[in-house]
Amino acid sequence: MHTPGAIFRAALQAESPVQIIGAISANQALLAQRAGYRAIYLSGGGVAAGSLGMADLGVNTLDDVLTDVRRITDVCALPLTVDTRTPRRWASTPSCAIVAEGSG
């Protein structure tokens, strides 16, 4: 079985740079997969807008993001990159990479 990280590394070897498209829902992730993308990206702003219906004002919690990560990775095999301000809490998630943001 290939891990998301291994699939992402293989994509990097086959196509560099890898085009990563944003997907803020499981449906969008499946559409990206069907369109031939090799990886997807979930942003905190996407979670705020897509799941909470709000602007990205720092109101979404880590649990909000993890809920969307699980929804996406439960149905889509593409490697998922996620932005975060708390990288240590991501070790046990099914994402393949994180983008650590500065908080100030």
Q: Which CATH number characterizes residue 82's domain?
A: 3.20.20.60
Pair of tokens at residue 3: 């891990």
d(CA 39, CA 48): 21
- The DSSP output letter for 12 is H
Q: Which residues contact 92 (CB under 8 A, 6 or more apart)?
A: none
In a domain, 55, yes or no: yes
In a domain, 33, yes or no: yes
pLDDT tens digits, 47-83: 888 888 888 777 788 888 889 999 999 999 899 988 7
The pTM of the full predicted model, rounded to 2 decimals, is: 0.78
Residues 59, 52 contacting (CB under 8 angstroms): yes
Residue 93 confidence (pLDDT) = 61
In a domain, 13, yes or no: yes
In a domain, 9, yes or no: yes
At residue 94 the predicted structure's pLDDT band, cuts being 50, 70 and 90, is low
- Find the domain containing 41 and state its range: 4-99
In a domain, 26, yes or no: yes
In a domain, 104, yes or no: no
In a domain, 22, yes or no: yes
**Tally of structural domains, the chain:** 1
Q: Which residues contact 31 (CB under 8 A, 6 or more apart)?
A: 23
Residue 77 phi, psi (nearest 5): -85, -5
In a domain, 32, yes or no: yes
pLDDT tens digits, 2-57: 777 788 888 888 988 888 999 999 999 999 999 999 999 998 888 888 888 888 77
